[in-house]
Amino acid sequence: MNPITIETKKLLRKLLRNSESHKGDFGHVLVVAGNIGFGGAALLSSKAAIKIGAGLVSLATRSEHLQAALSFAPEVMTKPVDSGQSLENYLDSPTVICLGPGLGKDYWSEQMIYKSLENTHKNKTPILIDADGLNLLPEFSKKLPLPKKIVLTPHLGEAARLLNTSVEKVKKNRVSAAKRISNKYNSVVVLKSHETLICKEDKIYICDKGNPGMATAGMGDVLSGMISGLIAQKLSLFEAACLGVDLHARAGDIYSEKNNQQSLLPTDIIDLFARVINE
């Protein structure tokens, strides 16, 4: 295995804007997320997508979260969506879909993933799948053709479920596991753990940044929003995954060096985007 290196500054230069830019130049992320009791995950992903530079971000979530979403991120266009039929109204306009944070596993979740997979395959829209979207994916991949442009962001347990194997076997050879998932789902894979791996077929990037303070709920939701926002700005799926992971980890290290690991929150990562982008 010969891991690649990424040129962070070169990738960031691709995001520079000219004076005649408008919001439509920087894509539209639709976050499909946030079942009842899990609204925070949806809000973190949405906020991260808009903060990293997506031109527009919409959030399709349970109606119970509307007021909280407007308070937390008024920049995000929040749509109360309580059925697959209502989701259909919002699936044709985005340039990338982020599916899964706080999705849960019930009838509503199943409608969200079914409609999202069906639409992204039809429209050739990129889709990032995280969290319970990954837990539901093996079942739905038997029913529907998968989208052609897909990013999967599993932690070790989710990776084991995607491969129908044990966490111990994934841990023993993470590179092999990431490649197998990439090949099985024809996807870019972000295998989250210590030294997160990004894989597309035989191409591997290993992130050597980050710290144990990032092992807290919501960190993956922020990362999903970041990567989706970078895809919206026309980076390739692999470039967006590598840059998103790198900036996410850098932000975690900056916070822990200045403060400590124990108090690091996902919102602290979002607050540090401006600094990590400018360094």
CB atoms within 10 A of CB 114: 16
Other C-beta atoms closer than 10 Å to the C-beta of 275 total 13
pTM over 0.95? The answer is yes
Task: Classify residue 92: in a domain, yes or no.
Answer: yes
Tokens representing 146 are 């998968």
Contact call for residues 232 and 24 (beta carbons, < 8 A): no
Q: Is residue 73 part of a domain?
A: yes
Q: Is the pLDDT of residue 2 over 80?
A: no
Q: Residue 193: inside a domain, yes or no?
A: no
Q: In 3D, which of 229, 253, 254, 275 has the Cα closest to residue 48?
A: 229
Q: How confident is the model at residue 23 (pLDDT cuts 50, 70, 90)?
A: very high
Q: What is the mean pLDDT of residues 215-234?
A: 98
Q: What is the pLDDT of residues 54-108, one digit of tens each?
A: 999 999 999 999 999 999 999 999 999 999 999 999 999 999 999 999 999 999 9
192 belongs to a structural domain: no
Count of domains forming the chain: 1
Asked if residue 270 belongs to a domain, the reply is yes
Exposed, middle or buried by CB within 10 Å (0-12, 13-18, 19+), for 143?
Answer: exposed
Question: What is the Rg, in whole angstroms, of the alpha carbon atoms belonging to the chain?
Answer: 17
Asked whether residue 185 is assigned to any structural domain, the reply reads no
Close Cβ partners of 86 (under 8 Å, ≥ 6 residues apart): 79, 80
- In this structure, is residue 214 part of a structural domain? yes
What pLDDT is attached to residue 254? 98
Which residue type occupies 34? Answer: G
- Is residue 1 very low, low, confident or very high in pLDDT (cuts 50, 70, 90)? low
Provide the residue type at 181 as one letter: I
pLDDT band at 279 (very low <50, low <70, confident <90, very high): confident
The confidence band for 145, taking pLDDT boundaries of 50, 70 and 90, is very high
State which amino acid sits at residue 269: I
Q: Structural domain of residue 113, as residue ranges? A: 25-165+208-278
Q: Which amino acid is at 212?
A: P
Closest alpha carbon to 76 in 273, 229, 220: 229
The pair of three-digit structure tokens given for residue 57, joined into one six-digit string: 């971000």
CATH number at residue 160: 3.40.1190.20
Within a domain: 187: no
